[in-house]
Structure formats: structure tokens, C-alpha cells
Amino acid sequence: MATLRALPAPDPRDEACMECFIHDLRARASDPKTIDAYASDVNIFREAVTKNLIDIEAEDIYRVIAQWQAQNVSVATVQRRAAALRQFYNLLYTVGLISIRPTALLRVPKPWKRIQAAPNEDLELVILSIGKESPFDLRDRAVLLLLRDTGIRANAIATSELANVDWKRGRIMLRDDKYGKDHWVPLSKRSLEALHQYVQTSRPHFLRGRNIPNLFASPKSLGPITRQRIWQIADKWSMKVLGRRQSPHDWRRAVLTEGAEKGMELFDLMQMAGHVDPTTTQRYLQHSTAKLREVFYRTHPRRKDTQ
């Protein structure tokens, strides 16, 4: 008879770590459904690993992920669980509960999807339609230009601080971007001008006399606007102008795809996107190559002979 592997006795430290993790997610203004999903993913891992969370090592995580893959758990689900574990152990490392992050080198293949980028002319039309008088219009224009010209993630925009903008060199430092990465992103001339106008004339309207370090302050809470608000801004203007939704990630994909199509080097594109894995960035280059092939076969004078 096969012996069952005994579960470890409940460790109060694990419960404290989970409470700390949930509190951090709430402090980041994460959606309640996102908080529940992340907590559930970490608990699923805890049940599978049969060790206390505070004692986990890198090989434990690789072992459990291999089990999930052997059980034919979808790539997207494994990727989501890995993302939850990265954020969980990044937090434990940041607060000093562990000295080594077991997820530091964790890489999980992403499900391949064809890049579908929004037409550049449509996004430009949205930008042109935003006024320059209302404080909300100035804020929305600055947000959408950051999405359009830099490809910054919605969460990074929401949490950016005013002190992170380098006005002289025309760039912004993204602190603790996805996977805990810090990196500089260059700002286009029009993005810099839109940010400057927003900061000078519109940001005080949202601060309302409060001392908030974030670039985009919430008018209601003592903190930044949420990632969900960024999505609402993108949805509002794209629906108003185009009659369809374009999510912040659609805007991000558009600028990265455009960069690839115009010959941006893989390393530069990777730095701009804030990717930690070059294979993620290469998807945009593959999209560029596929489009080039399509144009070649459509326009080549002897296309029938070359197919």
C-alpha cells in the first residue's frame, strides 16, 4: 500500500504571511476578485508543495510546476499561478522575512497568441479628440499618451510618482514594475509636454491640498488612481471616438508592435517594454515578420511565382 505524504503542521508564520500578502494587495488597490484569485493560487501551491511557505526553496516551486504540467493544467493557469507566487515571495523578500527569493529565476512558458495590435491611426484619432481645458481631459490625455508613446503598463502608470519623472532628460523611472523590475522609459516630446501641462494646471485639482507623491492622484482617496481607473479612461475615450473598447494593453501592444515594425532592436524593445524574458519581446518581432511576408506576397510583381 502506498504511503500518504503527511502534511506539515500549520505554521502560524504562513498565516501571517498570507495576511500580509492580502493586505499588500489591498494597499495596491487591487480588485477584490484579483485578491481572491492570487490568494487562492498561493493556497493551491501550499497544498501541492506540502511544506511551509516560509521554508520554500526554488526546487520546490519547480517540482510543483512540473506536477501541474504533468496533470495537463493549462499553460495560462500555470502562468497565472507563477505570477501569484512571484508577487508573494517578492513581498516576503522586501519585508525581510526571507533572504533569498525562490522565484527569482522562475520562468514559465507563456501561451502563444497572435499579436493583435490596434491600428495606429485609430489611436491617434482618440488622442486628437481629447480636449485641453478640463482637468479630467488633461489627465486623461496624459495617461493615454503614456500608453500610446511609451507602452507603459496600466499598473505602472497608476503607481508612478512625480519624483520619478526626469524632466531634463525626458524619461520616467518605473519603480517595482512587473516582476519587481526598475527601469527607465523615454518620453516622447508630446508625452512630456502633456505631462507638464497636467502637472502644472490639472494635478492640483486632484490633490485638493493633500500631500500625495503619486503622479496621478485619486480625487477621492489618499493615494494614486487605480489600475481599474486607467482601464476606464481607455474604455471611455475609445468607445466615444471609435465605438469599440481598446484596453490599456491594446495601446501597449500597438506601440511595441510599431517599434518592431520600424526596426527597433530586440534589446531596446525589451528595455522599453520592461520584459524580463526576451522570448516575450520576440513575439512582437514575429508579428512584424509575418506582416512583412504578407505585404511581400501582396505587392511583389511576380508574387504568383514566389508562393
Average pLDDT of the segment spanning 38-54: 91
Tens of pLDDT along 180-213? 567 788 899 999 999 999 999 999 999 988 888 9
Range 170-179 contact pairs with CB under 8 angstroms and sequence separation of 24 or more = 174/274, 177/153, 177/274, 178/153, 178/274, 179/86, 179/90, 179/276
pLDDT value of residue 2: 42
Is 60 exceeded by the pLDDT of residue 297? Answer: no
What percent of the chain has pLDDT above 70?
78
Tens of pLDDT along 85-132? 999 999 999 888 888 899 988 887 665 555 566 778 898 999 999 988
Average pLDDT of the segment spanning 47-74: 91
pLDDT value of residue 241: 93
Closest alpha carbon to 151 in 234, 228, 251, 235 = 251
Average pLDDT of the segment spanning 54-80: 90
pLDDT value of residue 191: 94
pLDDT value of residue 165: 94
Average pLDDT of the segment spanning 148-169: 89
Please, what are the domains in the chain? 12-94 (1.10.150), 124-255 (1.10.443.10)
Is 50 exceeded by the pLDDT of residue 1? Answer: no
What percent of the chain has pLDDT above 90?
36
- Cell digits for 162? 512625480
Region for residue 90 given its phi and psi (left: phi exceeds 0; alpha: psi -120 to 50; beta: otherwise): alpha
Name the residue with higher pLDDT: 259 or 253: 253
pLDDT value of residue 7: 47
Q: Which pTM does this prediction carry?
A: 0.58
- Contact present, 175 and 187 (Cβ < 8 Å): no
Average pLDDT of the segment spanning 57-71: 92
